[in-house]
Amino acid sequence: MKMNKVYFPIVIAVAVAVGLLLGSKLNPSTENAFLSKNANKNKLNKLIDFIEKEYVDSLNTDSIVDLTVNGILEKLDPHSVYIPKSELEAVEQSMRGDFVGIGVNFYMYNDSVAIIKPIPNGPSEKAGLKAGDRILFADKLQLYNKKLETDTLFSILKGEQGSNVKLTVYRKSEKKKFAVNVTRDIIPIKSVDVAQMVDKTTGYIKINRFAEKTYDEFLSGLTQLKNEGASHIIIDVRDNGGGYLDSAVKIADEFLKNKELIVKTKNKKDKIESTLATEKGVFETGKVSVLINENSASASEILAGAIQDNDRGLVFGRRSFGKGLVQREMPLGDGSAVRLTVARYYTPSGRSIQKPYEDKGENYFNEFEKRFESGELYEKDKTKIADSLKFKTKKGRLVYGGGGIMPDIFVPLEDSHGAEGLTMLMQSGLVNYFVFEQLDQNRNKFKKITTEGLEKEIRTGNYFNNFKEYMAKGGLLFNLDNQKEKVLFYLHAEFVRQLFNEKAYYQLILKKDDMVNKVLSK
């Protein structure tokens, strides 16, 4: 019997429906799981809708959703996080490695926007702005005596690429007020602070994070140092909290030979993905040293582990942070996003260097105090290592897992136990502000000063006593008299940074860097 073509689609639809029905009857557990999952989702949706429609007080349901998402993620691991819309743009800019703006470093000084330094070759420097200038107006918007937050100022000074902003500026050194048009442009956020020679054969590269453009910045610096005669490269990832895995992998590839293992990742389904070095590598034969400390995490640990496990070089410093989890970011459609842990990574020897995270709060992220009190930051033998987590490098050297990368050569904190507070203070923003204010009192005095003349000025001037007074006014009571040399050294370095450039700053600061000197002595 022939079927009328008109009824054919109807018959097919009925057949599919019957098939689905029979399938659900034959596999009720699948149906129940599906319904259960949907029920949980519906429960959340119904609750939020109920609150929104019926709750007696007015409230922002977006904040309720944020709390719900955070509450869920808090049950997972410390690195699965929710990034609200208000923070996502800044995070993305940092990892992208640029933003659009006028190109100045600034801070609020006596309730005015003071330029610490224009970014080299940026829009403001091209427009003639100088360190010490005060920005009074952006177009017709008054910026002084307004008690504006830094985030608010950023949003005012940022804008579309190619857009103009008319700045009204006061230049204290010349006692004049003037207007200048600045065309906003792309401002790079450097992830490689510096790449320079520290002696005739040793190059030094400092990476502050692993962003989209980090590999390109690093490769440029590495090539430059090799051309300058470097046969030994120091890679400094101290205080580098990580970033993109891919950037660390590409950097490791420049030092490892073809098909050497860089990193392995394992997901929920135990699927293992191995990343191997390629044939290309700019520095496959020279000497390599990696510097780490207790704040080196994630991608920094991947790089250090790859160099260490392949016996490509030595790792110097102190036990790293211990983050061996890989996140994937998922946009939530409203400008916010979730970063969810989707895999664990393993170094070439098979180590998982993720530390325990039963405590997911501040104690997990701020472990410095715990390590400080245990003495681990001063003595290698104070570091607790599980004997069951022993692994071997390519050449059979013993390495350990379970809580960070252990260095091959331990380098303690620079100060004696109990005296490290001053070093941390001298490396903080407090010194930046003090030096700015000292320069601001008489910028003409420093216009033609040389690096040699600057050192003499710092030592013979009254800067040490001025700094003591500055600290006392801020309620910081340190006995600096027996640490005068250290204070003068760090003050000198910051004067160099603000008057000259980062390269001159690092040339000075690395001379007294214990970890760098330890590398150079080997």
DSSP string for 84-117: -HHHHHHHHHHHHTEEEE--EEEEEETTEEEEEE
User: 3-state class of 328 per DSSP?
Assistant: strand
Which pLDDT band holds residue 170 (cuts at 50, 70, 90)? very high
Residue reference for tokens 């070089």? 313
Nearest alpha carbon to residue 257 among 215, 201, 307: 307
What are the residue numbers of the active site?
A: 298, 309, 323
Residue 416, both tokens: 């004696």
Residue 34, both tokens: 């599906």
Assess whether pLDDT exceeds 70 at residue 299: yes
The torsion angles phi and psi of 18, rounded to 5 degrees, stand at -60, -40
> Per residue in 89-127, pLDDT tens?
888 888 888 899 999 999 888 889 999 999 999 999 999
Mark out the alpha helices in 27-60 (DSSP H runs): 28-54
Q: Highest mean pLDDT range out of 169-173, 228-232, 370-374?
A: 228-232
| Rounded Cα distance, 377 and 320, in Å | 11
Average pLDDT, the chain: 87
Assess whether pLDDT exceeds 80 at residue 16: no
Residue 380 is given by DSSP the state G
Q: Provide the sign of the torsion angle of the four alpha carbons 191, 311, 199, 220, taken in this order.
A: negative
> Per residue in 340-397, pLDDT tens?
999 999 999 999 989 988 877 777 888 888 888 888 999 888 887 766 688 999 999 9
pLDDT at res. 387: 67
- Predicted TM-score (pTM) of this structure: 0.87
* Low-confidence winner among 118-132, 370-384, 412-426, 479-493 (lowest mean pLDDT): 412-426
Paired sense of beta strands 176-183 and 185-188, if any? unpaired
Residues 300, 301, 302, CA angle at the centre, nearest 5°?
90
